[in-house]
Amino acid sequence: MDTKKMAKIFKALSNPNRLELYLKIAEAHEASFETGGECSVADIISCLNIGAPTISHHIKELSNADLITTEKRGKFLICRVNEKMVTEVSKMLTLQQPE
């Protein structure tokens, strides 16, 4: 991964509200027994105190950085973490060699 792409990923996580979005999605991913590993935008809106347009914008940034994937299901937009990307970034941060 080049540094430009890497910087984009960190930028996506650099806003406190957006980071909370990511963490919420990541928590749903961890608690996959209860949640199925997924999390709708509506869930996020109801638990964070910011407007829907802003959240929509943030979701797009996370998705654009390939940190999450999204899937439209009926009225809802379902979000999941892109586990592969996240672990890759985590390793680059600590300069670990890819396997």
Which residues bind to a second copy, rule: CB under 8 A? 3-4, 6-7, 10-11, 13-16, 18-20, 23, 26-27, 29-30, 86-87, 89-91, 93-95
Torsion of CA 22, 12, 65, 28, to 10 degrees: 0
Q: Which is nearer to DNA, 46 or 97 (CB)?
A: 46
In sequence order, what are the residues at sequence separation of 6 or more whose Cβ sits closer than 8 angstroms to the Cβ of residue 52? Answer: 45
- Indicate the residue among 43 and 76 with the shorter CB distance to a second copy: 43
**Amino acid sitting at position 16:** P
Nearer to DNA, 42 or 87 (CB): 42
> Closest distance between a second copy and the C-beta of residue 72, in Å?
26
Question: Using the 8-state DSSP alphabet, how is residue 98 labeled?
Answer: P
Q: Interface with DNA by CB under 7 A: which residues?
A: 11, 14-18, 40-42, 45, 50-61, 70, 72, 74-77
- Residue 48's identity, in one-letter code, is L
What's the CA gap between 16 and 97, in Å, rounded?
Answer: 29
